[in-house]
Amino acid sequence: MPPPIDGVAVDSTEGPPHGARAGETPALRLFGLLEVVASSYRPFTLQSMVEATGMPKPTVHRMLQQLEGAELLQRQGDGRHYTAGVRLRRLAEQLLVNDTHHGARHAVLRSLVDEIGESCNITALSGDEVVYLDRVETPEPLRFHLRPGSRVPCHATASGKILLAQMGATQRRQLLGHAPLRRCTANTITDLGHLEEELARVRRDGFAMDNEEFLPGLICVAVPVPSPGRAGRSALCIAAQAPVVRLPTDRAPDLLPALRRAARAVGDIEGGSERADAGLDGGRVAQ
């Protein structure tokens, strides 16, 4: 057996398992298993992964053990269900933060800050938190400084509400229903029933607000980045944050036209990437 690849042992002594693609190496089969994991929004069992891949149960069991040992997968408390591990989630976040479109997205964010004069973020969901993929600070001396890579609770933030509102009720319960919602300020919504009412309003209006729910004195408004390829669901948000002394809650919706223009621009950047990828054929761009 060859040496492990950064903690993942690769057994090449046996032939390719049933369901594997011709010519795939053991390392690529492990990667293929991670692709199946990434495409599922709910925890999975050994049996469900066997059914999804068509590979023999002993082979899948061994692969899951390898990936769990490398912290790419983790097992839930019942010992039967698996989810993405810390290492795999960090990898996904770093790809989003550092991909080749970061510069283009950052330019959109910089232009938005120049237009509205307040700090702005591009955000995505990571577990039960929102991660800042990019951020441009306002030049105003009074501001809340948060860096790219910062994490905030999804139930207490405008971006988090946008992303939660797109989920089905079952998925939200799986994400939020196993522990009390953390109270960050006196305004934080900590009751699941009240949060569902808030998310219904978000779905109706197409934007979300954080009314001093994460930090005292901080107002935030967020919109989804359009993503036609995801059946109406968005993986990213654009959000603006400001002190309440500069942006009272009744004036926060005034930022929506600028936020939505920026969101469409970021959506065009992401969509252009997908169209370019679809044109690749054997490593060459189709003419």
Buried b vs exposed e over 8-33: b needs ≥16 C-beta within 10 Å? bbbeeeeebbeebeeeeebeebbebb
pTM for the whole thing? Answer: 0.64
Q: What is the mean pLDDT of residues 129-137?
A: 91
| Token pair recorded at residue 189 | 């919504």
Which helix or strand (DSSP H or E) is residue 269 part of? helix 256-278
What pLDDT, on the 0 to 100 scale, is given for residue 116?
Answer: 96
pLDDT tens-digit profile of 217-264?
A: 999 999 999 976 655 678 899 999 999 999 999 999 999 999 999 999
One domain for residues 117 and 42: no
Average pLDDT over residues 24-39: 81
| Domain stop point among 69, 84, 99 | 84
The yes-or-no verdict on residue 180 having pLDDT over 60 is yes
* 120 vs 67 pLDDT, higher one: 120
Residue 120 lies in a domain: yes
Dig out the tokens for 164 from the structure. 């939660």
- Cα 92 to chain center, whole Å? 8
User: What pLDDT was estimated at residue 210?
Assistant: 96
Q: How confident is the model at residue 42 (pLDDT cuts 50, 70, 90)?
A: confident
**Whether 73 and 209 share a structural domain:** no
Q: Total structural domains in the chain?
A: 2
CATH of the domain at 52: 1.10.10.10
Q: Which domain holds residue 119?
A: 90-277
Model confidence at 285: pLDDT above 60: no
Does the pLDDT value for residue 11 go beyond 50?
no
Residues 100, 53 within the same domain? no
Range picked from 8-17, 28-37, 196-205, 272-281 for highest mean pLDDT? 196-205
Domain presence at residue 180? yes
Question: Which residue, of 38, 59, 84, is where some domain finishes?
Answer: 84
Residue at 6 is within a domain: no
Q: How far is residue 66 CA from its own chain's centroid?
A: 25
Residues 140 and 203 in one domain: yes
Domain boundary among 84, 118, 133: 84
Q: What is the reported pLDDT for 54? A: 86
Q: Does 106 fall in a domain?
A: yes
CATH of the domain at 145: 3.30.450.40
Please check whether residue 242 lies inside any domain of the structure: yes
Identify whether residues 105 and 208 lie together within a single domain. yes
Instruction: Examine the domain organization and report whether 128 and 68 are in the same domain.
Output: no
Predicted confidence band of residue 76 (pLDDT cuts 50, 70, 90): confident
What mean pLDDT value characterizes the chain?
A: 82
